[in-house]
Structure 1
């Protein structure tokens, strides 16, 4: 008897969502599921080669990188996704784009498998575009058999839009492994000799991340803390990166944009404080990784961040460079307080479900939905 087939659907991503889907795909394969992933070429880079290994465990996953790249490609992508949905036992879409594409592709099927949609981010913006996106949210909320959100405000939003029993979901973060000495040497070469504390941010280059606020905070901090350096690990919008670099140069802010990194554990091992200036986040994996590594965290009080950090980090209002700079400075000035927060954060993360536990939880949810649909 062949294994039940789970189809994971994920749009373009390279950060936490892509890592979560890669880990889920690999873990489900180990639990005996026949796993397929419909995604973009960008996200496929986190999943291994098509029909090849995905994730750290190397389980076999069928990766189909045929995400629509334009209106001319939309019809063929929807048809391919529709065929994959028809051949699946259960379908799990990750993110708003994936959720919308999946419900549209499944709409004309006479019989379809149970459909799960997980929202990892809020829909931001104003005006006509925001209203159109709200209609897309509503369509997902009403068509999904199970809608889950990575933060409580996303769950509340789904309930408001008519979702049946929306649920909170946990995205795990494994404890980072300390980097090698060669990674440390490379970091010294990029940032120069260490003369003061290092503040680290791991983030996509995207408007939502409010890296403009971060640059301004770094400039303010440098006036009070001798030799401070601020490193940003992550890639993304190149035009925005150019604007941020010009802003940094005008303010003489000690910020280095490192680009995409594969040695984040080594960066965390060197960091004195981890900081995040985002306009909105669900349960950011980068923050969980910093907590697990014992790095004190300063982050904006948005989305699911307060629930994640609780009393183990410093929370500041979004959009305020002075507030961000002041909170970072307080932790740099008070080593005892920084150690206390870091220790509490490490203990809190240790109590969260592991990646294996999260995967087993999803497998159990899928089985329950399949039983209900029979």
Structure 2
């Protein structure tokens, strides 16, 4: 049989704990992301969190706030786990001028956001900010790559309010969109180790992001941070950067330096294997 079982996510951990009931096999749980719910669903979610983290011998999490949440829910051992940044694409990306031309941002600033079109990603706040940007000259183009249940509502707002925003759907070339952008924007309610933030910093694209979850520890000083849900603060931060090329250049360099210090895939693998080895060792004081 297995010496250690590793489950990824709350639901997988809860199901695995049930399957391991009555057995002495240690469970490792990686808690990747925080979920949100309201009303009765919120109570069910909290119950699921408690059951999952209490069943695990070790809970691994990508951000300090999730480690704290696991401990609050009763985890015996919760640890911050190094998570590797995605590997750069090996293929040659198209020239950014071509990407910008295809998007319609040749002689105007290009802002790029990436994520599922769901409430906790904060795209409603992004549209609030876009109302302010309509007054700029030239008016920036905001491109949002992603799909989700909020698409029709967001598209309706874009039409009704004549916002300079394009929803381009799911894209395999999201990294190329980010590389072509003047700024990347992350308006989420919560992120652990945001792929958009990692890609932007590594590419040297200035980032404006919400100060939530694991974002501050991921980006350090290499991004402009704003409160979640505050469209005015988001709008102001973007306007400031669009008018301050020196600050943008500083953020670009700081982003590359910050990204150079992130864990590698080897770091991530070594850490997980060390946890397995620790748990697989026979106890020196058998009961």
Per the normalisation by structure 2, the TM-score is 0.91
* Contact in 1 for aligned 2:82/2:271 (Cα 8 Å): no
* Contact in 2 for aligned 1:195/1:227 (Cα 8 Å): no
Deviations 1:55-106 (A, max 9, x none): xxxxxxxxxxxxxxxxxxxxxxxxxxxxxxxx54422222222222222232
Where structure 2 has 5 or more consecutive residues not aligned to the other structure, the ranges are none
- Aligned residue number for residue 92 of structure 1: 6
Which one of the candidate residues 180, 200, 217 is aligned to 2:93? 180
Which one of the candidate residues 338, 341, 348 is aligned to 2:258? 348
Q: CA RMSD in A?
A: 2.1
* Contact in 2 for aligned 1:298/1:316 (Cα 8 Å): yes
Number of aligned residue pairs: 283
**Displacement after TM superposition at 1:188 (Å):** 2.7
Which one of the candidate residues 140, 164, 169 is aligned to 1:254? 164
Cα gap change, 1:197 to 1:137, in 2 (>3 Å): same
- Aligned residue number for residue 362 of structure 1: 272
Cα gap change, 1:370 to 1:283, in 2 (>3 Å): same
- Aligned residue number for residue 136 of structure 2: 224
Cα gap change, 1:369 to 1:332, in 2 (>3 Å): same
* Contact in 1 for aligned 2:96/2:179 (Cα 8 Å): no
Which one of the candidate residues 120, 124, 127 is aligned to 2:32? 120
Cα gap change, 1:193 to 1:340, in 2 (>3 Å): closer
**Displacement after TM superposition at 1:323 (Å):** 0.9
How far, CA to CA, are the matches of 1:202 and 1:372 in structure 2? 46
- Aligned residue number for residue 286 of structure 1: 196
* Contact in 2 for aligned 1:172/1:355 (Cα 8 Å): yes
* Contact in 1 for aligned 2:112/2:185 (Cα 8 Å): yes
- Asked whether 1:332 is paired with 2:245, we answer no
- Asked whether 1:204 is paired with 2:121, we answer no
- Asked whether 1:234 is paired with 2:136, we answer no
Which fold has the larger relative contact order, with Cα–Cα distance below 8 Å and residues 6 or more apart in sequence? 2
* Contact in 2 for aligned 1:115/1:144 (Cα 8 Å): yes
Cα gap change, 1:336 to 1:313, in 2 (>3 Å): same
- Aligned residue number for residue 274 of structure 1: 184
Per the normalisation by structure 1, the TM-score is 0.71
| Misfit runs of 4+, over 6 Å | none
Where structure 1 has 5 or more consecutive residues not aligned to the other structure, the ranges are 1-86
SS of the residue corresponding to residue 281 of structure 2 reads: helix
Cα gap change, 1:170 to 1:159, in 2 (>3 Å): same
How far, CA to CA, are the matches of 1:352 and 1:366 in structure 2? 22
Cα gap change, 1:106 to 1:267, in 2 (>3 Å): same
How far, CA to CA, are the matches of 1:292 and 1:360 in structure 2? 23
- Aligned residue number for residue 125 of structure 2: 213
Residues 131-142 of structure 1 aligned to structure 2 (within 5 Å): 131-142=43-54
Of 180-189 and 211-220, more deviation after overlay is shown by 180-189
How far, CA to CA, are the matches of 2:69 and 2:265 in structure 1? 26
SS of the residue corresponding to residue 181 of structure 1 reads: coil
* Contact in 1 for aligned 2:62/2:193 (Cα 8 Å): yes
* Contact in 1 for aligned 2:179/2:200 (Cα 8 Å): no
Deviations 1:305-362 (A, max 9, x none): 1121221111111111111111111111101101111211210110111122212221
- Aligned residue number for residue 104 of structure 1: 18
- Aligned residue number for residue 312 of structure 1: 222
- Asked whether 1:321 is paired with 2:195, we answer no
Cα gap change, 1:269 to 1:179, in 2 (>3 Å): farther
* Contact in 1 for aligned 2:99/2:180 (Cα 8 Å): no
**Displacement after TM superposition at 1:192 (Å):** 2.2
Cα gap change, 1:225 to 1:169, in 2 (>3 Å): farther
